[in-house]
Amino acid sequence: MNNSSDLRESIKSKVPSVLATNPRLVMFLVLVVVSTVLSRGVFLSPSNIHNMLRQYSTIGIMAVGQTVVILLAGVDLSQGSMMALVSMVVAYLNVNGFGIVLPLVVGLLVGALGGLFSGTIITKGKVPPFIATLAMASICRGLATLITQSRPIYGLSKELLVFGRDTIGGIGIQVIIWASVGLLGIFMITRTVYGRGVYAVGGNEKSAHLSGINVQKVKLLGYAFSGICAAIAAIVITSRMDMGGPYVNANDNVQSIASVVIGGTSFAGGRGSVSGTILGTVIIAMINNLMNLMLINPYIQQGIIGAIIVVTVTLNQRKARTE
């Protein structure tokens, strides 16, 4: 009798503390329940979950890179435009007879170099990250539209379409790519010297510098990684849409930032995780899925994402202050 009430007490005290320390988990569980009830079980069907993950794989991939730059107390506002530029470059090279491998390699290089360029402006030019990447966004968008005077590029090779359309063992290749990039990000951030450098620089640049970390190099690599993630997302979306699009999903940039924020990474830098971000993207996917199920006007959806960012950042900061 006494034992069971002790047990009850301990569960009572533990459950809320788990939930209180991890609001993402609460959000996730609430969304699962609400979506399942509202859709009369359709939500939990494997095909619905699979579709959702496929659809949000591009945002998920970008968000992994975004996490690293936000951990560095920066931000990358050029991911969306970079995605459009890489999509156009890959499609252009592909339809002009350069095969598959070269366009993909060049696409990834464009992402990496673009990131290095932003990183250089930020570290050498002492330009605030959001303004450097805003300028970069403008440059990438211009270059993306310039290639074909803003017309989409159609007629890609069949082989290029595997990344957005085929499946391995029933799982979409784009979901596998997202999972791989996510695992790579988790490994890089938690298990390598570079990852410790990221937390150190984001937490306190001065003391990181004093303890012998090459701050500029850590930042440069972070922005390069963010650019590469945008390029991988571009390859997936180009493949899925079967075209190079100069205007592909400009809104994805905000969703990538929202994933990171919901995932609990702080804009002050030095605090957060890639695993949190992955859960953040899943939560955004579920919210959009839920809005679709409820037949909510799609035009409202980007506003909702904006509102979610505001609310989550506010809650995160409240929590940080009380700690």
- Catalog residues that contact other proteins under the rule CB under 8 A: 75, 77, 121, 125-128, 130-132, 134-139, 141-143, 145-146, 149-150, 250-251, 254, 257, 261, 267, 297, 299-307, 309-310, 313-314, 317
| Contact between 207 and 86 (Cβ < 8 Å) | no
- 10 Å CB burial of residue 284 (0-12, 13-18, 19+) is buried
Closer Cβ to other proteins, 214 or 314, answer by number? 314
In angstroms, what is the minimal distance from the CB of 184 to other proteins? 26
Burial class (CB in 10 A: 0-12, 13-18, 19+), 5: exposed
Backbone angles phi, psi at 168, to 5 degrees: -120, 120
Residue with structure tokens 């007490």? 9
Q: Which is nearer to other proteins, 121 or 198 (CB)?
A: 121
If DSSP codes are grouped into helix, strand and coil, which group holds residue 172? strand
Residue closer to other proteins, measured from CB, 4 or 149: 149
CB of 86 to other proteins, least distance (A): 16
CB nearer to other proteins: give 36 or 314: 314
To other proteins, the closest distance from the beta carbon of 130 in angstroms equals: 4
Cβ proximity to other proteins, 97 vs 125, nearer residue: 125
Please give the Cα distance from 109 to 278 (Å, whole number): 25
Q: How far is the CB of 206 from other proteins (least distance, A)?
A: 17
**CA–CA separation, 310 and 287 (whole Å):** 15
* Shortest Cβ 282–other proteins spacing (Å): 20
C-alpha distance from residue 35 to each of 25, 31, 55, 288 (Å) = 15, 6, 17, 11
